[in-house]
Amino acid sequence: MIVAADHPARGALGVGERGLAMADRGDLLRRLCVALGRPGVDGVLASADVVEDLLLLGALEGKVVVGSMNRGGLAGASFELDDRFTGYRAEDLERFGFDAGKLLLRLDYDDPGGGSVRTLEAAARAVDAMAARRLPVFVEPFLTRRDPETGLLRPDLSPESVITSIAVASGLGGTSAYTWLKVPVTDDPDDMARVLAASSLPTVLLGGDIKDGDQEAVYERWRVALRLPTVRGLVVGRSLLYPEDGDVAGAVDTAVGLLRGARSDT
């Protein structure tokens, strides 16, 4: 159970209709400290600035630290698909003694600027660099499209697209021995069995933003997907740190309960 907090470094500060929800660093850190203090929470996924704040606050004693590696594809930018590695490098994660890294892989088959293929190549080299150090790397793949009206990049969460993105991510680099997948749950949880059949790699589920404020529907999707054989846990940020009712501890405890329930069933 990992709490994600690397969104601000990519300029993604919104949660639902709240466009700057994550802009107050003090508030974000308070929420993270609450989440990390709950039983069953194993650690954090974040950019260097957030990790260092949490270290100074003493919130990471005995916790897993996953460093966010590519943050260059700023949210809403014309160059968003050119997601350069501007965060942690493999050598940084090794030097600091952290536990793993995470990279984002968004691919648009109609990308005229070539950002997708550059990111794809850089991601493969990052997988190689992490494997050379025997450090796990979480790869978060999406097929995406630009909205023709707004020009904004949108993930395609259809089962077929998620299957394709998983297949591509699984084949990155010269070895998959240290690769984990970080994947979204499709809108219909019954699709997840065939989605995750696309790879034998260990997988964690990401949270994403809450659609229409329906937190209970998200919990139900997690509950179903957590019981699939390759799923090993949850890496969730905004939906737990900024729940509609404001109860961070309650949201985190619910997620931990779902994970424990899935483990006891298997």
Q: What is the CATH number of the domain that holds 49?
A: 3.20.20.70
Q: What is the dihedral of CA 204, 205, 209, 210, to 10 degrees?
A: -150
CA 31: distance to chain centroid?
A: 18
Q: Tell me, what's the pLDDT at 211?
A: 59
Task: Report the SS3 class of residue 141.
Answer: strand
Alpha carbon separation from 13 to 21, 25, 31, 74 (Å, rounded):
6, 11, 15, 11
What is the domain range of residue 34?
Answer: 2-265
The residue ranges of the chain whose pLDDT is under 50 are: none
Enter the DSSP assignment of 7: S
Q: Tell me, what's the pLDDT at 188?
A: 83
Q: Count structural domains, the chain.
A: 1
Q: CA-CA distance, 203 to 196, in Å (whole number)?
A: 8
Give the strand pairing for 137-146 and 43-46: unpaired
Q: Is 155 exposed, middle or buried (0-12, 13-18, 19+ CB in 10 A)?
A: middle
- pLDDT tens figures, 105-114: 999 999 989 9
The answer to whether the CB of 112 falls within 8 A of the CB of 79 is: no
